[in-house]
Chains A and B, each alone.
Chain A
Amino acid sequence: MLKLSLPIPLFLIVFLLKQICCNELTFELPDNAKECFHEKLKIGSKYTLEFQVVTGGNYDVDVELRSPSDKILFQVQKKQYDQIERTADEDGVYQFCFSNEFSTYTHKVIYIDWRVDGDPEHEISSANPRVAEGALTMIESKVGNIHRNLESCIDYQTHHRLREATGRARAEDLQERVQIWSIGQFILIIIVAIGTVLLLRSFFTDRRTPSSMTWHR
């Protein structure tokens, strides 16, 4: 039995390390499309949904979050970025949907970050006091602090990357458009110049025949 007392706190920590996990996805939402994601949650678990429209049109999307009893927990129209933090107050499958149905031709790239923190069953095991020395506990708390700060650092980096991706997509789009339109205008100028001359020539060539007859009276 003594042998078990060492792995238990270790596994608890490992469990903690594994539990605070997230699901980050970036997907493309075509025009007139709706994309839904579902997850089964237990009552009392805290969840966070963060979304950001990275590229596409006016950078907006409709979002809807529904509870298992089909109650709308959160609904927003045409938003670029938002963060929703809620606690699940019923057991079951929660779903959140992104809709691009208001757009006719722009498809959007959307980044989502879905995090589920904690399960009530997990709290039973964490209530078990760990056998640890005083000094170790202080190091542990400092290490925990560093861990949280690094996590927020990674989060900031992700958002920076998304904003930069938005700017870069615009810049690359602009570069292509400048090229295409410049070539188009160049050719158009040449066509219009030649066309004008030909048109004028055609005016004077037609009127030539009746006027030449009047001259030779």
Chain B
Amino acid sequence: MGNQSFLFIVFIVIQLILTTHSLYFHIRETERKCFIEEIPDQTLVIGKYKVELFDAATNTYLPSTPGIGMHVEVKDPEEKIVLSKLYTSEGRFTFTSHTPGEHVICLYSNSTAWFGGQQLRVHLDIDIGEHAVDYQQISAKEKLTELQLRVRQLLDQVEQISKEQSYQRYREERFRATSESTNQRVLWWSIAQLLILVIAGFWQMRHLKGFFEAKKLV
């Protein structure tokens, strides 16, 4: 039993360590970094980020610098702003899509510099749909057994798959509409260009004939 409680503690420690690891990239203070997410509608998106400022004195990145904030701006497929908020150096943003399509998530710091600026290290983690669900929270709140939790995960996955399928139908419809519109345009413009060529030819002949007759050259 002592062994189990020890493992339990080790496990919690591992959890704490692992939550700090994630993919990161560097941007300048005035730079804007955007990510595109193509998602079906009614999908939950959770983004977690952490910003670190480069300290030239110690040549490392300082964690949790006060004063550095990040603007998070999310635009929906119709270029309408869904979310635009300023968060602290470590934040979490959430939004639910209401229209299917390409959403653009942009991050930029609230730096007052005009150009250049120092380097920032941004840890980012964007979870969409089924990945955004926090199973720990659900198991704690609803007190589910392990099997029930797994089945719950399967249900979430299947729901995401079905949403993605219906989004695919919507995309295919758009693609078909675009192709048919191109087909129509090619058809009508070709006819129009043919007509304009013939008309221009006739007009040229008639005009020049009249012109030469008036000049008594013909």
Which B residues are CB-close (under 8 A) to A186? 189, 192-193, 196
**A172 to B178, Cβ gap below 8 A?**
yes
Interface size on A, residues (CB 8 A): 74
**A154 to B36, Cβ gap below 8 A?**
no
**A23 to B215, Cβ gap below 8 A?**
no
Q: Given the interface contacts A10-B145, A12-B11, does A189 sit within 8 Å of B200 by beta carbon? A: yes
CB distance from B108 to the nearest CB of A (A): 14
Is A8 among interface residues, defined by CB-CB distance under 8 A?
Answer: yes
Instruction: Name the contact of B153 in the complex, choosing from A17, A36, A40, A119 (C-beta under 8 A).
Output: A17
State the total of A-B contacts with C-beta under 8 angstroms.
188
Is B203 among interface residues, defined by CB-CB distance under 8 A?
Answer: yes
Which B residues are CB-close (under 8 A) to A201? 211
Instruction: Name the contact of A190 in the complex, choosing from B26, B128, B174, B200 (C-beta under 8 A).
Output: B200
**A168 to B174, Cβ gap below 8 A?**
yes
Which B residues are CB-close (under 8 A) to A144? 150
In residues 5-49 of chain A, which contact B (Cβ within 8 Å)?
A: 5, 7-15, 17-19, 21-28, 35-40
Is A69 among interface residues, defined by CB-CB distance under 8 A?
Answer: no
**A164 to B153, Cβ gap below 8 A?**
no
Instruction: Name the contact of B178 in the complex, choosing from A125, A175, A197 (C-beta under 8 A).
Output: A175
Q: Is the interface of B mostly helix, strand, loop or mixed?
A: helix
Is B168 among interface residues, defined by CB-CB distance under 8 A?
Answer: yes
A26 to B200 Cα, complex, angstroms:
51
Q: Given the interface contacts A4-B1, A157-B161, does A10 sit within 8 Å of B139 by beta carbon? A: yes
A160 to B10 Cα, complex, angstroms:
41
CB distance from A2 to the nearest CB of B (A): 8
CB distance from B90 to the nearest CB of A (A): 17
Across the interface, name the chain A residue whose C-beta is closest to B1.
A1
Which B residues are CB-close (under 8 A) to A26? 35-38
Is A150 among interface residues, defined by CB-CB distance under 8 A?
Answer: yes
Is B56 among interface residues, defined by CB-CB distance under 8 A?
Answer: no
The residues of B with any CB-CB pair to A shorter than 8 Å are 1-2, 4-5, 7-8, 10-11, 14-15, 17-18, 21-26, 33-38, 124-128, 130-131, 135-136, 139, 145-147, 149-151, 153-154, 157-158, 160-161, 164-165, 168, 171-172, 174-175, 178-179, 181-182, 185-186, 189, 192-193, 196-197, 200-201, 203-204, 207-208, 211-212, 215, 217
